[in-house]
Amino acid sequence: MTVEAVAVPGGRGGFGLAWRRLRRNPAAIISAAILIAILLICFPLAPLFVDLACHHGPNDQNIQGYIHQGGHRIPVVGLDGTPVGPGLRSCYMLGADANGRDLAVRILYGGRISLFVGITSALLCVFLALILGLVGGYRGGFVDSVIGRLLDLIWSFPVYLLAVALATTLAVGGLSVGPLHVSSSSLAIPIVVIAVVFVPYVARPIRGQVLALRRMEFVEAAVATGAGPVRIMLRELLPNIASITLVMLTLIVANNILVEAALSFLGVGVPVLTPSWGNIIEQGYSSIVTAPALTVAPGIAIMVTVVALNVLGDALRDALDPHARIRIR
C-alpha cells in the first residue's frame, strides 16, 4: 500500500506548530516515553544490569549450573533439556533457554541488535528512496521512467522471497566487491537486504510529492534565477518533503523491526550467535510447549516497541498535517 500526504509547503514555521500539536497528544507522549525507555534499557542500562545483578552476559552458557532459590537448588537446564522458567529472582528472571543462557539478558542485548538493524536499515532505505524519489520526480522523462521500472521490478518481487534470496546468497559466502569485504555473519547483510527491499515503498510517495511540488511557483522561480538542479533539489524540494520523510522514517523503522523478526524466523536474519529479538523467537519456537517464555517474551518486546513507533508515526502525521488530504495511489 502507498499512502502519501500532500503537504502545503510551509517552510520551517510548520515544524514549530507541529511540535506544539504533538506535545498535546497524550498517545504521542506515552509512545515517545516508551521508546526512550526501551532505548535506555537496552543500551546503557543492560551492561549495568549484567554487572550488578546477575553477572552473566547474553552468550554465557550455563547448562550444568544451578539456581539457588528459597533454599532449593534448581538446575538451570533439566536432564531432559527443559530450561528453568520465569521466576522472581535477579538471575534468570525470565528463565533460561536450552543452552542455559539468561533470557532476560538476551532480550536486553537482543534489543540492541533489533533496534540497530531496524534503525540503520530504515535510514539507509530512506536515504536511497530520497535520492531516487528526488531525482526521478524532478527530472521526469527517461530518467524517471528508468527509476520507476527498477522500483517496480523490486516491488513486484514477492517481498519475503526476494529478501530471503538475497540474504541467503550473501550469507553463504559473504560479499567481496573490490575493497569492500563483508563477512557472512555480518549484520550488514540483513540491514542492506531489508533496506533495499523497501526502497520502492518509500520512494513512491516521495516521488509523488516531488512531482506535485515541482509544478509550484517557488520552484519555477528558482529555475528562473538560474539555480542548478542539485541546488533546487537540496534547497527547495528537500525541506518541503521533510515532513513526509520523517513520518515514513518512523513507520519504516517499525516495519523493519518486524521484517527482521520475520527473516530470522525464516532463517536468514541476524546470524545465530548474536541475539536479536527475531532469532530468539526462532530458537525458542521449537520448544514453545515446554518453555513458552522463550517465544512469548521477545515477541512482546517487539510488539511494544513497534506499537510505540506506529503510534508516534501516526501522531507525527497528524501533527504535521492535521488537515492533509490523503490520496491513495
User: How far is it, in rounded angstroms, from Cα 168 to Cα 166?
Assistant: 5
Among 168, 196, 212, 218, binds another protein (CB under 8 A): 168
Are 278 and 269 a contacting pair, CB within 8 Å? Answer: yes
User: How far is it, in rounded angstroms, from Cα 317 to Cα 315?
Assistant: 5
Rule CB under 8 A: is residue 272 a binding residue for another protein?
yes
Stretch that binds another protein, among 136-144, 187-195, 236-244, 297-305 (CB under 8 A): 297-305
Stretch that binds another protein, among 47-55, 121-129, 242-250, 299-307 (CB under 8 A): 299-307
Rule CB under 8 A: is residue 303 a binding residue for another protein?
yes
> Shortest distance, CB of residue 264 to another protein, whole angstroms?
10
Among 131, 149, 109, which residue's Cα sits nearest to residue 277?
A: 109
- C-alpha distances (whole Å) from 187 to each of 59, 167, 176, 268 are 17, 11, 15, 11
The residue among 232 and 261 lying less far from another protein, judged by its C-beta, is 261
Cell of 226: 538560474
Rule CB under 8 A: is residue 199 a binding residue for another protein?
no
Rule CB under 8 A: is residue 61 a binding residue for another protein?
yes
> Shortest distance, CB of residue 187 to another protein, whole angstroms?
13
Among 204, 192, 119, 111, which residue's Cα sits nearest to residue 155?
A: 204
User: How far is it, in rounded angstroms, from Cα 291 to Cα 288?
Assistant: 5
Rule CB under 8 A: is residue 21 a binding residue for another protein?
no
Residue 271 burial (CB count, 10 A): 17
Stretch that binds another protein, among 48-56, 107-115, 209-217, 301-309 (CB under 8 A): 301-309
> Shortest distance, CB of residue 234 to another protein, whole angstroms?
31
**Torsion angle of C-alpha atoms 116, 120, 123, 125, degrees rounded to 10:** -120
Among 199, 196, 198, which residue's Cα sits nearest to residue 130?
A: 199
Residues 63-122 binding another protein (CB under 8 A) are 63-64, 77-82, 98-99
Residues that contact another protein, how many (by CB under 8 A): 73
Residues 140-159 binding another protein (CB under 8 A) are 152-153, 155-159
> Shortest distance, CB of residue 80 to another protein, whole angstroms?
4
Rule CB under 8 A: is residue 306 a binding residue for another protein?
yes
Rule CB under 8 A: is residue 34 a binding residue for another protein?
no
Are 136 and 211 a contacting pair, CB within 8 Å? Answer: no
Enumerate the β-bridge partners of residue 177. 180
Rule CB under 8 A: is residue 191 a binding residue for another protein?
no
Rule CB under 8 A: is residue 271 a binding residue for another protein?
yes
Cell of 40: 535506555
> Shortest distance, CB of residue 98 to another protein, whole angstroms?
5
Stretch that binds another protein, among 40-48, 188-196, 212-220, 309-317 (CB under 8 A): 309-317
Distance of CA 10 to the CA centre of its chain: 29
Q: Which amino acid is at 40?
A: L
Among 267, 275, 270, 277, which residue's Cα sits nearest to residue 303?
A: 277
> Shortest distance, CB of residue 191 to another protein, whole angstroms?
18
Residues 216-255 binding another protein (CB under 8 A) are 254
> Shortest distance, CB of residue 95 to another protein, whole angstroms?
14
Are 254 and 16 a contacting pair, CB within 8 Å? Answer: no
Stretch that binds another protein, among 132-140, 205-213, 234-242, 319-327 (CB under 8 A): 319-327
